[in-house]
Chain A
Amino acid sequence: DAGVTQSPTHLIKTRGQQVTLRCSPKSGHDTVSWYQQALGQGPQFIFQYYEEEERQRGNFPDRFSGHQFPNYSSELNVNALLLGDSALYLCASSLLGWETQYFGPGTRLLVL
């Protein structure tokens, strides 16, 4: 049973560019959440998608947007990249309303 997968594993961008990160949830899961983890910090909640709708959002600007597809996979888009967006971006999948979320390996984004 494949767990949560994310692509790409690493990415280097320059300030002002746009980036798209992808996530496939664990088999049987219908809900995808995205987190940002800066170096030496715990993950910070960006938003959650269920039934192709944004269900809950954390304290992140509108530059961060997402999408969920009918097969439950998801994308995270970040526009107008800033140096401070450099971080590990984690995708977590779950069943709606269940307490446990399972994380993927993350995409490491470096903004120069």
Chain B
Amino acid sequence: QKEVEQDPGPLSVPEGAIVSLNCTYSNSAFQYFMWYRQYSRKGPELLMYTYSRGNKEDGRFTAQVDKSSKYISLFIRDSQPSDSATYLCAMKEKKSSGDKLTFGTGTRLAVRP
């Protein structure tokens, strides 16, 4: 079983839709959770970072962490065609365990004009 599971998609939505992207994980030691956006043939770009639990909002993006369910989500409001990309969740254990990020496989998102 992979430590981090993510539906690869593709997910296709119309412009303006609310998008929900999710990851589940099995390692209860994960404490830091990130979402990266990766355009085709580019490096990942950090979108959101959350610690341990709760919600974090940044513009059209909201990240949620539910540690009891080992489940994290990224919501995109008013989606735009420019949001079309692969979204990667990434997780890290506590600081003393090192800085290794463990990624999901990524979800491909297409926003139709």
Contact = CB atoms under 8 A, between A and B. Distances in A.
Interface of A: 4, 31, 33, 35, 40-45, 48, 55-56, 58, 90, 92, 94, 96-97, 99-106, 108
Interface stretch (B12-20, B36-44, B54-62, B71-79): B36-44
B43 A41 contact: no
Interface residues of B, number: 27
13 contacts: A33-B100, A42-B6, A45-B101, A45-B102, A48-B99, A56-B99, A90-B43, A92-B101, A97-B95, A97-B99, A99-B32, A101-B99, A108-B41
A45 B100 contact: yes
Contacts of B42: 105-106
Contacts of B106: 40-42
B6 A103 contact: no
Interface in B42-94: 42-46, 49, 51, 88, 90, 92
Contacts of A101: 46, 99, 101
A15 B87 CA distance: 32
Given A41-B105, A99-B92, A103-B36, A33 B99 contact: yes
B98 interface: yes
